[in-house]
Amino acid sequence: MRRLLSSIIILWAAAASLLAQLPDTLILNESSFLKQALEYAPAIKNAQLEVSIQNQEFLAAKGAFEPKIGGQYSVKEFDDKNYYNKQQTGVQIKTPLGIKVDGGLLINDGIFLNPESNIPSSGLAYAGIELPLGAGMFTDADRTYLKQQRLENDAASLVNTLSVNDYLLEAGEQYWDWYGSIMVLKISEEAVILANSRLNFIKRKNLIGEAADIDTLEAFINFQNRTAYYIANLIKYQKYSNYILNYIWLPNRANEALAPEVDMEYDAIFPDSILGKNFVNTHPVIRLLETDSLINQANIYLAKEYFKPQVDVAFRLQESANTLSDFNYNIASNHYVGLNVNMPLFLRKERAKAKQLIYNGEIIRNKKYEMLIKIENAQKTYYYNSIELKKSVALWKTASINYGTLLSAEQTKLTLGESSLFIVNNRELKWIDAREKYIENYVEYRKAVLGYFYSLVLLPKML
């Protein structure tokens, strides 16, 4: 038994050294811990990069309205004959109003040139305009896509805020689990010390005949239980100590020990959003759904635009290239006019697409209504949980002090021979349980406070 006792004491002493604070310990309170995560965590940086990617998508959408310079060249020769030689160079511009403008130069020659391609030997200069008078007059695919990407830009910022909010909650909860494991480990460490001291006291009394052998065995079993309790909490402490390293991203950090800094008298201050629901109505999830609604509405406008017939009119002025400097264009005789008219008879595709989008709009509205209720209920739940847990923390703090007083008094009575080992152990169990519940409730209280700010996506603003 002595050998087993010595082994347990050695194990406990070695494990207890893990809690020893080194001179170069890095002290982190909740705020400083979350700030360093917000500033340096790769997940946070990736969330911001997603915003940058969306910004580039918006720039790409603008490319549909960039001026385009191009040219075409074709030549045909056969049996030592030059059938034709055709060149066309020019610039095309599609404006955000849906109007297309182009201009350029045509040079055609050849003995077998199509008669309609015959132009002055100096070339034919042209400038023209094309505009839709039916479908596509008020919007088209390119303009709708540009509008969508502009809205998606705003949405990307909202998604980034939600991602940061999620990460900070995850990190904050890990911080409090880590802190709780440290405090409970300290409680179990004290319990082992008390149990060991009591075992030595009973052994001394047994040697002089004032305690029965069975009391020595009971004291030893209690010491074993406290040691097992300590080892179980040591495993939790090691687990959470490793987990917390997943959220430490300070640059140039040495291998310092980490330690939390906590104000046990912390009293949360909540924004008054129970009565005024501003935070709920401006929640990023709600704003994302509103953005989805705007995008869906833009698609409805586009679908309904094609209920109209497609009527595209093109008009082009053209003149011999060698007379350009005279600006003497004869609009009546030197021009090109084109007209394109097209319309499906029953518009099945267009009507079906519009109807789908209308249904989708109803889905978005239903989601928004549902999310408003969920967010408000989540916020209220975290708020009231925080209030009640704060009361519970105060109760268990008082209880742990009172149980500690009872244990101390019972230990004194045992020393004087006026109490039994069973009663002392029972007092000690209640004292340990009360202290552990005090820490557990405090950790849950701080998590509930985090949850409140998380439910309103205020965690990034807290820092």
Phi-psi region of 327 (alpha: psi -120 to 50; beta: other; left: phi over 0): left
54 and 174 together in one domain: yes
Residue 299 lies in a domain: no
- Asked whether residue 304 is domain-assigned, the answer is no
Residues 152-187: tens digit of each pLDDT: 999 999 999 999 999 999 999 999 999 999 999 999
Q: Which residue has the tokens 């833009």?
A: 298
Please indicate, yes or no, whether residues 253 and 156 belong to a single structural domain of this protein.
Answer: yes
260 in the same domain as 213: yes
Residue 352 lies in a domain: no
The span from the CA of 424 to the CA of 271, in Å, is: 47
Confidence of residue 256 (pLDDT cuts 50, 70, 90): confident
**CB count, 10 Å around CB of 267?**
7
136 backbone φψ class: left, alpha, beta (φ>0; ψ -120 to 50): left
Shared domain check, 337 and 233: no
Task: Say which residues have a Cβ less than 8 Å from residue 348's Cβ, sequence separation at least 6.
Answer: none
Q: Tell me the CATH number at 26.
A: 1.20.1600.10
Residue 124 lies in a domain: yes
Spatial contact of 379 and 280, defined as CB atoms under 8 Å apart: yes
Q: Quick one: 147 and 275 in the same domain?
A: yes
| Of the ranges 72-81, 252-261, 436-445, the best mean pLDDT one | 436-445
191 close to 226: Cβ distance less than 8 angstroms: yes
Q: Mean pLDDT throughout 232-256?
A: 92
DSSP secondary structure letter of residue 23: T
Counting other chains too, the contacts that 84-92 makes at CB distance below 8 Å and 24 or more residues apart are 84/108, 84/109, 84/110, 84/112, 84/113, 84/114, 84/117, 85/109, 85/110, 86/110, 86/113, 86/117, 90/126, 91/67, 92/67, 92/68
Same-domain pairing of 287 and 395: yes
| In-domain check, residue 405 | yes
173 and 214 housed in the same domain: yes
Domain count, the chain: 2
DSSP per-residue string spanning 194-220: HHHHHHHHHHHHHHTTSS-HHHHHHHH
Residue that the structure tokens 């401006």 belong to: 282
Instruction: Write down the mean pLDDT value for the chain.
Output: 88
Residue 31 lies inside a defined structural domain of this protein: yes
Residue 168 inside a domain? The answer is yes
Check residue 134 and give its pLDDT.
Answer: 85
Half-sphere exposure of 193 (CA within 13 A, CB side): 8
Q: Which two tokens stand for residue 278?
A: 């501003």
Q: How far apart are CA 384 and CA 30, in angstroms?
A: 22
**CA atoms lying within 13 Å on the CB side of residue 160:** 19
Residue range(s) defining the domain that contains residue 126: 68-136+310-346
Note whether residue 426 is domain-resident: yes
Nearest to 222 by CA among 424, 2, 400, 437: 424
pLDDT tens-digit map of 391-425: 999 999 999 999 999 999 998 998 888 888 889 99
Residue 312: partners with Cβ closer than 8 Å, 6 or more residues away: 130, 131, 132, 133, 134, 136, 338, 339, 340
Same domain, 328 and 368: no
Indicate if 164 and 234 belong to the same structural domain. Answer: yes
Would strands 100-109 and 81-94 be described as parallel, antiparallel, or unpaired?
antiparallel
Residues 276 and 402 in one domain: yes
Give the pLDDT band of residue 275 (cuts 50, 70, 90). very low
Residues 53 and 103 in one domain: no
Return the pLDDT at 298: 94
Confidence class of residue 4 from pLDDT cuts 50, 70 and 90?
Answer: very low
Q: How far apart are CA 31 and CA 163, in angstroms?
A: 18
Q: Please, which residues have CB within 8 angstroms of residue 28's CB and are 6 or more apart in sequence?
A: 36, 175, 258, 259, 260, 261
- Buried b / exposed e over 72-91, threshold 16 CB at 10 Å, is eeeeeeeeeeeebebbbebe
Q: 270 and 394: one domain?
A: yes
What are 317's strand-pairing partners? 127, 335
pLDDT one-digit tens code per residue, 291-340: 999 999 999 999 998 888 888 898 888 877 776 665 566 666 677 888 88
**Integer-rounded Cα radius of gyration of the chain:** 40
